[in-house]
Amino acid sequence: MFDTLQDRLSATFKSLRGKGRLTEADIDATCREIRIALLEADVNLAVVKEFVAAVKQRALGSELSGALNPTQQVVKIVDEELVAILGGQTRTIRWAKKPPTVIMLAGLQGAGKTTLAGKLGRWLREQGHSPLLVAADLQRPNAVTQLQVVGEQAGVHVYAPEPGNTSAADGEGERPTGDPVLVARRAMYHAQQKLYDVVVVDTAGRLGVDAELMQQAAAIKAEVRPDETLFVVDAMIGQDAVNTARAFAEGVGFDGVVLTKLDGDARGGAALSIAKVTGRPIMFASNGEKLSDFDVFHPDRMASRILGMGDMLTLIEQAEKTFDAEQSAKAAAKLTSKGGTQFGLADFLQQMQAVRRMGPLSKIFGMLPGMGEMKDQIANIDEKEIDRIEAIIQSMTPAERDDPRILNGSRRARIARGAGVQVSDVNNLVTRFMEARKMMSQLAGGKMPGMPGVPGLPGAGGGARKGKQQAKKKGGRKGVSGNPAKRAQPAQGRVADGAAAFGQVPQTPEEMQQAMADFDLPPELRRMLDRGR
């Protein structure tokens, strides 16, 4: 959603790199580019003016002039101002002192309230609560049925005493809608009797803001007296979302905003405008069609995404939810023991499936810092390639997965037929796995391949052995030390361990003077040292 804004801001900051000092003209040009980027993202004009003015004021002040790196300081200022217009602090649900906590959903038709009710119910259940979904939308055809289906998928109970309107396609025409206020009242009594600690009320929406919608929503709110009234808004409708939010704030009132369809290709103006204009925080965000594509909205993390700095905290949280800690520990232990040979394709398949449960690979890679410049490559990731890898591994026997080294030609041909791929695909997978396993085993064991002879790093010393072997091949003669102090000592007095990597350390002043005398300095440098004495 924020790709266009991200590209413009990245280009703006890139033009500032390498400048040790920013002039007032540089700051004016930067603010002008930021203004254009925000307007192109369909951000509210008043919000844009306030944002740019704040950035310019801070950039021209002492905050920037005293910075060691002015360019990075400008990025920091923009990041902090983005967090401010997105709502500042993360806001979560205010729980009722006496259960149940009542949450009312309001918004226009098509914003995704019913689906969001299921996502919210699933999220509440994962937090350890016992939620109840209330079908108070009796006017949109099949809205009650949709909520029942979504609730079943989320594993959450649904209270639906009235069937609501059904589609005329079923041959029965439209049924009476019932009274949504009465449904809400009975739902509260039902929740208290059945000991539900959270009640989520799904209300009806309209194609536009009208008096009937406002009156019905206000009546339901007066009946259930919600602890939280959440305004559900489609993030793809741009600045019109701000106008709708204002109308709801005046007619019904709400405590927080829920953004849906954040995974769309719109310009994201609603997300950057609605919190600042309405004065109500964005509390939740829905960024996909699955019930799991829902989470608390964090302004600081969203600002980091917009600036291309990734969202590692969200990525870590998703990984903690998805990965089995015990299973991951066992896989790590296999990598560190016996050169990693115990880590087989079955373990690799388990870890790969856990990564896939976190969501599409393009979404996962998009949360990594610095990936903003690789959006095209990330967008072109072929998920079917992962399916082919899974099919190849699933076509192997348990013994073959545990030890790919036993895969001969006939086994590989059988696996290729079973997976519906070419033998070359099996060969490529096995080769890449063996190389990756070797590298991961070395990293897990503290060895850094490719850095021989670097003092202080694990795995160092290989380069020294290689150099001695090359010297023997060239002249067959043992190499002579280049250290005069070491060369002047008898062979039996030298320290052979790694503590004397740079020669025998002189122990007395006499040894130090002898070492300095044996060390051939350039004539100019020796004369300069003699004058300094």
Q: Which residues of 293-304 are buried (b: 16+ CB within 10 A; e: fewer)?
A: bbbbbbbbbbbb
For the record, the structure tokens of 294 come out as 């829902």
331 is in an annotated binding site: no
For the CA atoms of 509, 511, 517, 521, what is the dihedral angle to 10 degrees? -90
- Relative to beta strand 256-260, strand 157-159 is unpaired
d(CA 91, CA 232): 16
107 is in an annotated binding site: yes
Q: Which amino acid is at 529?
A: L
109 labelled binding-site residue: yes
110 appears as a binding residue in the annotation: yes
Tokens describing residue 168: 């005329």
Find out whether 268 is annotated in a ligand binding site.
no
DSSP state, 296? E
Which residues, other chains included, contact 137 with Cβ-Cβ below 8 Å and sequence gap of 6+? 113, 114, 143, 144, 147, 164, 180, 202, 203, 204, 205
Q: Yes or no: say if 108 and 244 are a contact pair by the CB < 8 Å rule.
A: yes
Q: Confirm whether residue 111 is marked as ligand binding.
A: yes
204 known ligand binder: yes
389-398 long-range contacts, Cβ below 8 Å, gap at least 24? 389/352, 389/429, 390/349, 390/352, 390/353, 391/419, 391/420, 391/421, 392/416, 392/419, 392/421, 392/425, 392/426, 392/429, 393/345, 393/346, 393/348, 393/349, 393/429, 394/349, 394/419, 395/419, 396/345, 398/346
Return the structure tokens found at 383: 């998920």
Q: Is 474 annotated as a binding residue?
A: no
Report the run of H or E that residue 157 belongs to, with start and end: strand 157-159
Based on DSSP, count helices (H) and strands (E) in the chain, helices before strands.
Answer: 25, 8
Strand partners, 284: 258, 296
Instruction: Provide the Cα torsion 484, 488, 491, 495; round to 10°.
Output: -50
Tell me the chain's radius of gyration from C-alpha atoms.
33
Helices of type H across 307-344? 312-322, 325-336
Whether 108 has a binding-site annotation, put simply, is: yes
Q: Is 261 flagged in the annotation as binding?
A: yes
114 is in an annotated binding site: yes
Q: Was 203 annotated as part of a binding site?
A: yes
* Residue 112 known to bind ligand: yes
Q: Is 225 annotated as contributing to ligand binding?
A: no
Is residue 239 part of an annotated ligand binding site? Answer: no
Alpha helices in 61-128 (DSSP H): 62-65, 70-85, 113-126
What span, in angstroms and rounded, lies between the C-alpha atoms of 472 and 48?
72
Tracing tokens 């004065």 back to the chain, one arrives at 279
Are the beta carbons of 137 and 204 closer than 8 angstroms? yes
Binding residues for GTP: 107-114, 202-206, 260-263
Bind-site residues: 107-114, 202-206, 260-263
